[in-house]
Amino acid sequence: MRNRKRITLWILAPLLLVIGVVIYTAASIYFYGKKSEDMQTADAAIVLGAAVWNERPSPVFRERIRHAIALYKQGKVKYIIFTGGSGRPNALPESTVARRYALDQGVPVDAILTEEQSRVTEENLVYAKRVAKEHKLQTFLIVSDPLHMKRAVRMARDLGIQAEPSPTTTSRYTGIRSQLTFLSRETFYYIGYCFGDIIR
């Protein structure tokens, strides 16, 4: 009987530990996305890429772009760095679509910087850092959806980017189901990033 209890404990203990790590990570991602540095200023906003639909920003990407435009017009950043390449041949890069949208909204052309090679979050930041270095920019606000923020800022700082979070105040992910799906995915990605090269 005692041996059976010990075996059960040995099985349950690691399982409970894993569950605890997952719950803690999910909660930390959720609450980190609520952070907003309203008085924070920086040299530039780095806007993480997202999908483009028919050469127009998807709803998710549009809200990121709008948020960065608001930061610029409020005087919180001097430049906007749009990131994101193209996933299909002959398609416009995400950053090009974002640049066009920002120009239409009155952002001066010399305040917009782009990179057109990245496909995932870490690449967004790697190439944005190169662009920033060319223009001698040192401080940044990372713009993305709230639930994406913790992983993005962690990656940025690991790359040596002096970054602070600036989550969008509006997002397509407003329903319970969509938020839970996004949160589950980000929890998996964040744990994978922290504990190895499982996924970026």
Residue 25 DSSP SS3 = helix
Q: How far from 60 is each of 91, 139, 196, CA to CA, in Å?
A: 19, 25, 28
d(C-alpha 47, C-alpha 49), whole Å: 6
Q: What share of the chain is helix, strand, coil (3-state, %, to 5)?
A: 55, 15, 30
**pTM for the model:** 0.88
d(C-alpha 141, C-alpha 148), whole Å: 14
Mean pLDDT by 10 residues, the chain (200 residues): 64 78 90 76 97 92 97 98 89 96 98 96 97 97 96 97 92 72 91 72
Render the burial of 32-41: b for 16+ CB within 10 Å, e for the rest.
Answer: bbeeeeeeee
- Beta bridge partners, 140, equal 44, 163
For 38-173, CATH gives: 3.40.50.620
